[in-house]
């Protein structure tokens, strides 16, 4: 696991390494698509790596993550299984789901993802209910996006999760765009108020700084665990790449400005150039090895 590797490394550097790994993994995927090696589609979380790393940093064995179509960062942060994911997306038998699930439908211990919006939320609540019924000290985490707030299943679940007080952490990554539709055309009123209406406490932040997300997520995870009740963490962030592949019609200037404050830029500023360059090159080597190994698989 990436999380387990380099645990002796200073925290700032380790968090940077984990985000950099996700970034390079997905950039490599996009290259492989251009090369014609990959089939189907993929949804990169480039620009949102801090959410995955900052939250998942605080989960334990036994905790469960439910993710969505944009799941690579969450999966890598949770499992570190880059080869299994790469082989899966390449459609190889050695892939984590033997090439059946592909990019959006992944399963590993403590991790699942599904590509239909909304429906994963009650499912994550059901997992939380199972934990509660068993008296376990574990929590269920579900990652959703701003677009998912359009789905009714979300609100049915918020109601039940609050009524039954299940240990569910909803992480809402608001990246401002639901495919091609901006939040302004998608979401009326307040995102936070949607949770608060059900009595679910909300913490909201507008940041791409992994340390800030890490700090808030630590508190949220602890509270869900100790109070055995649902909470929501809203991270207002930004998706730097297209929704899936070559389908980006956002204003170039809007995107360009966000590249100035993306998670790696922020975290790099805390490190010596020698350190981050070394990590970059180590990550590149690792990814190259993953790709070479995956390509050679039957």
> Considering beta carbons, is residue 166 or 241 the nearer one to other proteins?
166
122, two tokens: 């009650």
202-206 and 231-236 strand pairing: parallel
State whether residue 137 is helix, strand or coil: coil
Minimum distance from residue 78 beta carbon to other proteins (Å):
14
CB of 124 to other proteins, least distance (A): 6
Task: Considering the complex, state which of residue 144 and residue 210 has its C-beta at the smaller distance from other proteins.
Answer: 144
Rounded Cα distance between 183 and 249, Å, is 15
Three-class secondary structure of residue 9 per DSSP: coil
| Beta carbon of residue 123, minimum distance to other proteins (angstroms, whole number) | 4
End-to-end CA distance of the chain: 24
Between CA 281 and CA 83 the distance in angstroms is 18
Taking the complex as a whole, how short is the minimal distance between the CB of residue 156 and other proteins, in angstroms?
A: 4
Q: How far is the CB of 97 from other proteins (least distance, A)?
A: 4
Contact 185, 178 (CB under 8 A): no
Residues that bind other proteins (CB under 8 A): 64, 96-98, 100-101, 105-108, 112, 114, 116, 118-131, 133, 140, 152-153, 156-157, 159-160, 163-164
Cβ contact 80:5 at 8 Å: yes
- Report the C-alpha gap between 193 and 27 in whole angstroms: 36
SS3 content of the chain, % helix, strand, coil (to 5): 50, 10, 40
Residue 151 or 176 having the CB closest to other proteins: 151
Query: Measured from the CB of residue 217, what is the shortest distance to other proteins in angstroms?
Result: 22
Q: Of the two residues 161 and 202, which places its CB atom closer to other proteins in the complex?
A: 161
Whichever of 48 and 157 has its CB closer to other proteins, that residue is 157
* Residue 97 or 211 having the CB closest to other proteins: 97
């Amino acid at each position: 696991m990436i999380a387990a590797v380099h645990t002796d490394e200073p925290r700032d550097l380790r968090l940077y390494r984990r985000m950099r790994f996700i970034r390079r993994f997905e950039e490599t995927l996009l290259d492989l698509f251009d090369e014609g090696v990959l089939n189907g589609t993929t949804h990169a979380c480039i620009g949102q790596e801090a959410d995955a790393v900052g939250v998942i940093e605080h989960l334990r064995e036994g905790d469960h993550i439910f993710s969505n179509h944009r799941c690579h960062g969450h999966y890598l942060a949770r499992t570190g299984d880059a080869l299994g994911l790469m082989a899966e997306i390449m459609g190889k038998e050695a892939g984590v789901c033997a090439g059946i699930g592909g990019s959006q439908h992944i399963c590993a211990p403590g991790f699942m993802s599904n590509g239909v919006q909304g429906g994963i939320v009650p499912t994550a609540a059901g997992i939380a209910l199972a934990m509660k019924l068993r008296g376990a000290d574990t929590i269920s985490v579900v990652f959703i996006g701003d677009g998912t707030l359009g789905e009714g299943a979300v609100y049915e679940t918020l109601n039940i999760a609050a009524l039954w007080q299940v240990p569910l952490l909803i992480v809402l990554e608001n990246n401002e765009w639901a495919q091609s539709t901006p939040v302004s055309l998608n979401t009326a009123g307040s995102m936070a108020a949607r949770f608060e209406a059900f009595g679910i406490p909300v913490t909201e932040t507008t940041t791409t700084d992994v340390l800030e997300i890490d700090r808030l997520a630590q508190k949220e995870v602890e509270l869900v665990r100790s109070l055995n009740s649902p909470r929501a963490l809203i991270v207002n962030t930004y998706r730097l790449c297209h929704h899936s592949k070559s389908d980006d019609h956002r204003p170039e200037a809007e995107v360009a400005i966000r590249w100035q404050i993306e998670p790696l830029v922020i975290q790099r500023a805390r490190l010596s150039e020698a350190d981050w360059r070394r990590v970059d090159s180590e990550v590149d080597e690792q990814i190259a090895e993953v790709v070479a190994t995956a390509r050679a698989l039957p």
